[in-house]
Structure 1
Amino acid sequence: MKTSRRHFLLLSAGVGSSLVLSQAAFSATVNRLGETDPKAQAVGYVEDASKVDKAKFPGFAAGQTCASCSLFQGAATDAYGGCTLFGDKQVAARGWCSSYSTM
Structure 2
Amino acid sequence: MKNSRRQFMILSAAGACTLALNGKVQAQAMVAESDPQAKALKYVAVSDVAGKNCANCALYQGKPDSAAGGCALFAGKQVAAKAHCSAWAKKA
**TM-score bin, normalised by smaller chain:** 0.5 to 0.7
Counterpart code for 2:51? G
Write out the 4+ residue segments of structure 1 that deviate beyond 6 Å after TM superposition: none
Equivalent in the alignment of 2:31:
33
2:44 pairs, out of 43, 46, 52, with 46
Matched, 1:70 2:58: yes
Counterpart code for 1:92? A
Indicate conservation of the 8 Å contact 2:67/2:80, yes or no. Answer: yes
* CA spacing shift, 1:29–1:70, aligned 2, 3 Å: closer
Consecutive unaligned residues of structure 2, counting only runs of 5 or more, are: 1-20
Task: Provide the identity percentage.
Answer: 41
TM-score (norm 2): 0.67
Q: Alpha-carbon deviation of 1:72?
A: 0.1
TM-score (norm 1): 0.61
Q: Alpha-carbon deviation of 1:27?
A: 3.3
Alignment: residue pair count: 69
Where 2:55 maps in the other structure, the secondary structure is helix
Where 1:27 maps in the other structure, the secondary structure is helix
The 5 Å alignment of 1:2-41 reads: 27=25, 31-41=29-39
Consecutive unaligned residues of structure 1, counting only runs of 5 or more, are: 1-22, 51-60
Q: Alpha-carbon deviation of 1:28?
A: 7.3
Cα distance in 2 for residues equivalent to 1:28 and 1:81: 12
1:1-48 CA distance string (max 9 Å, x none)? xxxxxxxxxxxxxxxxxxxxxx8xx93795100000000000000000
When the two chains are superposed, the root-mean-square deviation of aligned CA atoms in Å is: 2.0
Matched, 1:88 2:76: yes
